[in-house]
Structure 1
Amino acid sequence: YDAMYTSVDAAPCVRLLTKDGEIGCSTEGRVVGVLRLYDEDHDDVLTSHSADDKIAIVMPESLFNQSTVKQLDSSLSLAGIMVLANEKTKPSSYSPDEATPQSFMAKVRGEPLYEWNPIGERDPIIHQRYGFGIVRVADADAEGVRSKALLNEEKRAKNEFVPYVAEFHYPMYAKGNSLACLEEATCLPVGGFSVWTTLQKLNKTLNKDIVLATAMMDSSAFFHDLAFGASSYQSGVVSLTAATLALSKPLLTHTCPNATQLPKQIMVALLNAEQFGYVGSRRLARDLGTELECNQWSAKFERPYRTCLNPYKPNTLYTSLNLTNIDTILEVGQVSLEEGDTLYAHIDRSDPSPDNIARSLAFSAMISANFSGGTGVSVTGASEQLPGLPPSSIPSFVKEKRDRGLGGVGYVSLQNHNTSFTNPYYLSRFDSNLTASQVDSLCSTAKIIAKTLYATAGGPASDTCQAEIDANVDCELVSALFHCLTQDFNCPLVNKYSGEQDEGPVSHYAGVYFLVDPDRIIGVPRFLNRLLAESLVEHNEYGSALHDAVDPVLAFNYDKDKWDISSEVSWGGNASLLPSMLFSESNWAADIGTRLYRREDPFVQRLMLGLGVAITVLAGIGGYLFRPYVIQNFKT
């Protein structure tokens, strides 16, 4: 921090937009503020600073919440806020999300509102708009930033000049709402790519019933770069992936058919952008069983593996599956457990279809009766008093089937909680790891998932078959996969399938959706797609597939090169009628960032100006007095 300008390693809050307006953070160009320390020992900033002077608040993570930010914003002229990381301590609980997660989508789906996340904020910080920068300073830089702010406080206490300032540069180009910025091409839809596969070959003519298993691939946080989501929802991704790989292995007992030979097809989907209106599941449900009219094919691959460029689809394998055939859904949600804890099988007792409720109750009872306790993890039905499902991808498929008149479906959402979340850090930067026993529990959960899918697809429920499936679940892989997805993405397992990555944990924020060549899709979707493909290609002949996770309300206009509202959506130009919040992320400048520097004392500036003037005057006087001598001795 001795250089004139020092860049700060920090994760920023950025501008998102919805159909209703702006959320997140933005600055108008470069904004400079004097560093002020705000903590338990320095809490007088609200009374000791002029409201007209721009300031940059430096505060510990323990004080960063919606009520504190609201108080600072209403009392001061903020250039920005710098939240200091402290990897050694974290609060006992914190969630920046609302108590009723994704409440808007619950209303769209006709679901009763329920506080699954009781520690969530009534006026959640994750949904607010801020006209200044907010960054979370990395642990390595936190002490340096704090020391500069502390020196400023010491100077201020002595009525001396305070030298250190911070510059926030986070100009966001999108203004208004998602409809406006998509029209102006100043933002992109929040989204990405889901990953799906099947245990058997794709054959539409066989018309097999489908057992669908899902997990949410993405997470979120106020600072998107820190959306680690260890419990919500990487615990589910790891367990379901391990179960899928176990089912791809052959069973040796002749009375136990392989999962590739069962009467029903097992389909697995790791869904992206679910934290932003269940985008991945809604898109996949909408696309299954619909005809694709491709106007331009990519020349890279043969059909059905081929990419359609207009309308863009990374591959067209999904056209071999039909939504009608999905008769059972198993969702794997937050499933990390401590020793002795229980998994809960949730169903929706408010489902308007009595047939769906009956099927779901039977499915839940089957799981609890046949697979509870055998691996050290018990499963029981969730409370009958609950009004519906916790935040879930399941209704995307149930609603789509109901709207199209495609019949009923039984479903269960497996969760580690009953009436409310047990995760104390839901959608928070603190949801970064699990205990050793919780990681171990993921292997037990993977065994329950694998046996449930096997039996539901028509496999024998004998002790012999169950024991073989248990043995095929690789607990070392579970541990390695969890480590890669939450602690260090540049791990040997990821390197094997996706090459070298940046060191450290990877963010599971969905990101923005691009129309991109499948070979250029990177990150977690690329890794999981290739991991599954290696084990499954010999069974289904294609391995696994990527599917676009972009809001089905949107359609890309190839003539205008921008996103429009799909012609299939009835909204009459009234945004309130859109069945989605329509999240988008603003475009921004390439050089965004935060930096510190030391400004000069005005006294020194005045002194230097005075010296400059004095030197100029003396030079003039000297020249005038020296002029006769020059004329006399250098006359030409």
Structure 2
Amino acid sequence: MALKIFFLILLFSFRFRLSLSGNGQTNSMESVPDLQKSMYMVVDGYPCVRLVNLSGEIGCSNPGRDKVVAPIIKYKNKKELGQPSAILLSMGDVQGFFSRYVLPISMFLRSPWECLPELGKFCSNTQLVLRKHLNVKDHIQRISNDSSFASNVAGVLVESRVEIQHKLKGFSPARKFPQAEFAPYHDNTYEWNPIGSGIMWKSYNFPVFLLSESSTSTLQEIAMKNEKTEKAYTTNVAEFDVVMQTTKVGTHDSESCLKEETCLPLGGYRWLDQRGESYAALDFYASI
């Protein structure tokens, strides 16, 4: 998949002329492909995809079936976003940013292995539970404080820099107690993975891309240009043309999409794991 950077251009007529550097010649645009080449720049990226199982969904996806187009801005721990924006995020800010973006409590559903009749555990698929370690007051407060911010996150572009990765003290998108549901004891408060954030087990209603190093440099320049021309009538925007969801609205778990026969196989890269110098493709995933 590729991320397209769309340059908004004021169009005065159906015939365009671009000045070539150095020789003073002009190049006429007489077709749609000519226009598209001048308006779009393809940027390499590794997408976070949407995964569906019996208990719900995790991962990233466009909020609807349309493209997402938003201006590119550099994340600076802003308290507010004035408009829907594509946020350029450094690797060092990933954990804090995604921990800030919290979904409503209704998204915390009971996992399927907690509802096993043979173990004496009964519950409906829609039963709402609050984890023992979930501080409800703090959770609601964070949603209230960041609701405006979260609603204006149109997409996220994660920078990739080797020197930044070496400076990070620790990063883990897994939980502090991985696979606690399968523990042979009831106390799951011990932190086997102290630096774990659990962000990979949440659902995000916006697209996310890990940029290559070359693309990181390109996007940094564009974000800086947008910042300098903040009040100008033109701006550089990111176009996310990746609808990573099932083929029918409302199928939010594997049971519903299998029943409706709308499960759509999804391919992509696990961007949270691609933090080294190599960007080799990993396994493909399916929404089952």
Q: TM-score if structure 2 supplies the norm length? A: 0.60
CA distance in 2 between counterparts of 1:78 and 1:100 reads 29
Please say if residues 50 and 245 of structure 2, whose CA atoms lie closer than 8 Å, have aligned partners that are also in contact.
no
Change (3 A) 1:506 1:30: closer
Structure 1 Cα separation of the partners of residues 89 and 147 of structure 2: 14
Q: Return closer, same or farther for 1:80/1:73 CA change in 2, 3 Å cut-off.
A: farther
The Cα RMSD (Å) is: 2.9
Q: What residue identity is the alignment partner of 1:92? A: K
The structural deviation recorded for 1:55 is 1.2
> Which SS does the other structure have where 1:187 is aligned?
coil
2:177 aligned partner: 100
Instruction: Show the counterpart of 1:599.
Output: none
1:585 Cα deviation from its structure 2 partner: 2.4
8 Å CA contact 2:245, 2:264 repeated in 1: no
Which residues in structure 2 correspond to 1:543-582 (within 5 Å)? none
Specify the SS of the correspondent of 2:229: helix
Displacement of 1:24:
0.8
2:94 is aligned with 1:64? yes
Could you say what secondary structure the match of 1:89 adopts?
A: helix
Structure 2 regions of 5+ residues with no counterpart?
6-36, 103-141
Higher helix proportion, which one? 1
Q: 1:505 aligns with which of 280, 285, 288?
A: 280
Q: Matches of 1:10 and 1:163 in 2, distance apart?
A: 21
SS of 2:164's equivalent?
coil
The sequence identity of aligned pairs, in percent, is: 28
Report the alpha carbon displacement of residue 57 of structure 1 after superposing the two structures with TM: 0.8
1:152-551 aligned within 5 A: 152-156=226-230, 159-174=231-246, 175-187=251-263, 224-226=269-271, 428-430=273-275, 432=276, 505-507=280-282, 509=283, 511-512=284-285
Q: Rate the CA distance shift 1:68–1:110 in 2: closer, same or farther, 3 A.
A: closer
Measure, in 1, the Cα distance between the counterparts of 2:200 and 2:271: 13
Write the letter of the residue equivalent to 2:257. C
Q: Determine if the alignment matches structure 1 residue 585 to structure 2 residue 283.
A: no
Give the structure 2 partner of residue 77 of structure 1. 152
Task: Give per-residue Cα distances to partners, 1:584-626, cap 9 Å, x unaligned.
Answer: 627xxxxxxxxxxxxxxxxxxxxxxxxxxxxxxxxxxxxxxxx
- Aligned residue identity for 2:182: M
Give the CA deviation at 1:160: 2.5
Matched-pair contact (CA < 8 Å) for 2:210–2:271: no
CA contact (8 A) 1:182 1:188 kept: no
What's the CA shift for 1:165? Answer: 0.7
Q: Deviations 1:247-296 (Å, cap 9, x if unpaired)?
A: xxxxxxxxxxxxxxxxxxxxxxxxxxxxxxxxxxxxxxxxxxxxxxxxxx
Q: Does 1:38 align with 2:75?
A: yes
Give the whole-Å Cα distance in 2 for the aligned partners of 1:14 and 1:3: 30
| Residue number in structure 1 paired with 2:206 | 132
Judged with a 3 Å threshold, the aligned counterparts in structure 2 of structure 1 residues 103 and 170 are, in CA distance, closer, same or farther, namely farther
Query: 2-side partners of 1:135 and 1:506: how far apart?
Result: 14
- Residues 173 and 160 of structure 1: CA distance in aligned 2, closer, same or farther (over 3 Å): closer
Distance 2:241 2:280 in 1: 25
Q: CA deviation at 1:120?
A: 0.7
Q: Between the two structures, name the one with larger relative contact order (CA 8 Å, sep ≥ 6).
A: 2
Asked whether the 8 Å contact 2:89–2:158 carries over to 1, the reply is yes
Q: What residue is the counterpart of 1:4 in the other structure? A: 39
Q: Assess, with a 3 A threshold, how the Cα gap between structure 1 residues 140 and 185 changes in structure 2: closer, same or farther.
A: farther
CA distance in 2, matches of 1:20, 1:225: 21
Q: Which amino acid aligns with 1:140?
A: S
Cα distance between partner residues in 1 of 2:57 and 2:73: 28
DSSP 3-state at the match of 2:46: strand
What is the CA-CA distance between 1:104 and the residue it aligns to?
Answer: 2.4
Q: CA deviation at 1:226?
A: 4.3
Unaligned runs of 5+ in 1: 191-222, 228-427, 434-486, 488-503, 513-583, 587-636
Partner SS for 1:180: helix
Alignment CA distance shift 1:136-1:155 (3 Å): same
Deviations 1:207-240 (A, max 9, x none): xxxxxxxxxxxxxxxx84446xxxxxxxxxxxxx
Aligned residues of 2:91 and 2:164 also touching (Cα < 8 A): no
Give 1:59's aligned amino acid. Answer: L
Structure possessing the higher radius of gyration over alpha carbons: 1
Q: Deviations over 1:402-427 (max 9, x none)?
A: xxxxxxxxxxxxxxxxxxxxxxxxxx
